Amino acid sequence: MAAEKKVEQITARDVDFAQWYTDVVKKAELVDYSSVKGCVILRPYAQALWENIRDILDGMFKATGHENVAMPLFIPESLLQKEKDHVAGFAPEVAWVTHGGTEKLTERLCVRPTSETLFCEHYAHIIQSWRDLPKLYNQWCSVVRWEKTTRPFLRSREFWWQEGHTIHATAEEAEAETRRMLETYADFAENDLALGLIKGRKTDSEKFAGAEHTYTIECMMHDGKALQSGTSHYFGDGFARAFGIQFTDKSNALRYPFQTSWGMSTRIIGGLIMTHGDDSGLVIPPRVAPIQAVVIPIAAHKPGVLDAARALAGTLRAAGLRVKLDESDQSPGWKFAEYEMKGIPLRIELGPRDIEQGQCVLARRDTGEKRPAPLAGLPEAAKALLEEIQASLLRAARANLAARTGTASTLDEMKALAPEGGFIKTMWCGDAACEEKVREVTGMKSRCVPFAPEHVGDTCVCCGKKTDTTLYWGFQY
């Protein structure tokens, strides 16, 4: 037998959360660092996880009438400059191409940080009449933002995402689309990724560059920090005016259309890790797990064990489960630790005694619970157990969100609560000066204004003015 490899130790979360995170993404073989600082390589396990996320979201987008397109990687500087607020918001993070081969370009090309300007140029070519609207587009691609501080998934200079871009005849239709796509993200994040979240509108100081409104889902991590996990932006007709996009309406009048954009990126994988992971490594929700169940033969050298394990894995695959059979010569103990680290939701152990008794042993990754289960009807039992694991992870995430959400009615109360992290819910007058003062005093940034008021008093936490606007605050990744 080959020398047994030991599963490497992972730093405990409560000892050093940042080091724990780094240990997990490296030792669970999610990423490797590239020779370009701030860029990472998605290894097959992370790529498979992203593909599952992509496929579910893509199906949700197509079910709501969206079509996929592909835009160029490069944006001419003159095109990017057409919307001043937009370019100002991205200027510090833009990467530029100045040469083609050995020749200097007559105009610099931006490596896309986002694609609003490219879509606007395209819309100006193809939209003439109200009959051409709406356009409901999405693209899957990578973008580049020259971040100063990077961390795998959370912030990198190149990352993968989807960016939806739609254009509509009326402001009401565009606003409804903006909200609809935010709800799509919230549905996916809760029901497929089992994340605890709040949703609402960003303040003007935190909205997307060039947007009139930005809506967000904010997920609560294990350590009490918030992760902005998906955003949806209403642009009004500002981009249309800047790019000269007009259409003839039903009364033959010339109008400017209204636009939206919305995005979710590989950052959400970081959110999944930091919400569900534990001191043994990853815990992946079954609906997006690259491998939902791993079959481990026990005493594989004994007659009939491997054949039975292969047959069981085949039966489970035929039932639609994503299954791995580990026939390697590593010990069962090593395999248990390895697949715990990789967060596989369900482990299925099968040995000679189990075969004699017509059963196997099921072990849950989320709770560690082990129990025997009959081989007859196992696919249905495994599917039911995976759904229970999915629901259990969501319950735990929501419980963490509730436990880490506090309220404050004064700045002194906020200052006292801030070191504990989590969300702090307050009232806010809507003045940017009060928002900035709270940030200076507590270190917390505004996260979102919930869609419905959640009253925790009736006066601004900072200035004491009467208000009915609620605002969530938190530390962020």
Positive or negative, the Cα torsion across 242, 448, 477, 390?
A: negative
Q: How far apart, in whole angstroms, are the C-alpha atoms of residue 232 and residue 236?
A: 13
Are 261 and 346 part of one and the same domain?
no
Are 141 and 269 part of one and the same domain?
yes
Boundary residue ending a domain (353, 378, 400): 400
The overall average pLDDT reported for the chain is 95
What pLDDT is recorded for position 8? Answer: 63
Are 254 and 133 part of one and the same domain?
yes
Q: How far apart, in whole angstroms, are the C-alpha atoms of residue 131 and residue 140?
A: 27
For residues 1 and 275, the model is more confident at 275
Which residue is it, tokens 């099968």? 350
Within a domain: residue 92? no
Positive or negative, the Cα torsion across 411, 413, 418, 421?
A: negative
What pLDDT is recorded for position 89? Answer: 75
Are 351 and 423 part of one and the same domain?
no
Rounded CA Rg of the chain: 25
Boundary residue ending a domain (236, 251, 276): 276
Are 430 and 453 part of one and the same domain?
yes
Q: Is 361's pLDDT higher than 90?
A: yes
Q: How far apart, in whole angstroms, are the C-alpha atoms of residue 239 and residue 245?
A: 8
Task: Report the run of H or E that residue 258 belongs to, with start and end.
Answer: strand 258-265
Structure tokens at 436: 């900035």
Which residue is it, tokens 């605050």? 473
Whether 287 and 392 have beta carbons less than 8 Å apart is answered as: no
Whether 464 and 409 have beta carbons less than 8 Å apart is answered as: no
- CATH, residue 455: 3.30.110.30
CB 126: neighbour CB atoms within 10 A?
10
What pLDDT is recorded for position 258? Answer: 98
Are 252 and 299 part of one and the same domain?
no
Are 365 and 464 part of one and the same domain?
no
What pLDDT is recorded for position 314? Answer: 98
Whether 127 and 247 have beta carbons less than 8 Å apart is answered as: yes
Are 62 and 135 part of one and the same domain?
yes
Tell me which residue range forms the domain holding 217: 17-68+128-276
Are 166 and 50 part of one and the same domain?
yes
Q: How confident is the model at residue 453 (pLDDT cuts 50, 70, 90)?
A: confident
Q: Is 328's pLDDT higher than 70?
A: yes
Within a domain: residue 415? yes
Q: How confident is the model at residue 3 (pLDDT cuts 50, 70, 90)?
A: very low
Within a domain: residue 165? yes
**Residue 291 dihedral angles phi and psi, to the nearest 5°:** -125, 120
- CATH, residue 303: 3.40.50.800
Q: Is 7's pLDDT higher than 70?
A: no
pLDDT in tens, 63-109: 999 999 999 999 999 998 887 777 777 788 899 999 999 999 999 99
Q: Is 5's pLDDT higher than 50?
A: no
Q: How far apart, in whole angstroms, are the C-alpha atoms of residue 356 and residue 399?
A: 42
Q: Which residues contact residue 3 at a Cβ distance below 8 angstroms, ignoring those fewer than 6 apart? A: none
Within a domain: residue 94? no
Calculate mean pLDDT across residues 112-141. 97
Structure tokens at 144: 């580049």
Q: Is 416's pLDDT higher than 50?
A: yes
Whether 123 and 135 have beta carbons less than 8 Å apart is answered as: yes
What is the DSSP-derived secondary structure letter of residue 36?
Answer: S
Calculate mean pLDDT across residues 233-260. 97
Residue 3: exposure state from Cβ atoms within 10 A (0-12, 13-18, ≥19): exposed
Q: Is 198's pLDDT higher than 90?
A: yes
Whether 14 and 278 have beta carbons less than 8 Å apart is answered as: no
Within a domain: residue 395? yes
Whether 143 and 74 have beta carbons less than 8 Å apart is answered as: no
Are 232 and 356 part of one and the same domain?
no
The single-letter code of the amino acid at 411 is: L
pLDDT in tens, 344-359: 999 999 999 999 999 9
Q: How confident is the model at residue 6 (pLDDT cuts 50, 70, 90)?
A: very low
When divided into structural domains, the chain yields a total of 3
Calculate mean pLDDT across residues 185-211. 97
CB 200: neighbour CB atoms within 10 A?
20
pLDDT in tens, 164-192: 999 999 999 999 999 999 999 999 999 99
pLDDT in tens, 43-63: 999 999 999 999 999 999 999
Q: Is 4's pLDDT higher than 50?
A: no
Are 211 and 297 part of one and the same domain?
no
DSSP string, 404-426: TEEE-SSHHHHHHHGGG-SEEEE
SS3 assignment, position 39? coil
Calculate mean pLDDT across residues 374-392. 98
Boundary residue ending a domain (368, 400, 432): 400
Q: Which residues contact residue 163 at a Cβ distance below 8 angstroms, ignoring those fewer than 6 apart? A: 114, 115, 138, 139, 141, 143, 261, 262, 263
- Per-position b or e across 398-431, b if 16+ CB within 10 A of its CB: bebbeebbbbbbebeebeebbeebbbbbbbbbee
**Residue 247 dihedral angles phi and psi, to the nearest 5°:** -140, 155
Are 378 and 453 part of one and the same domain?
no
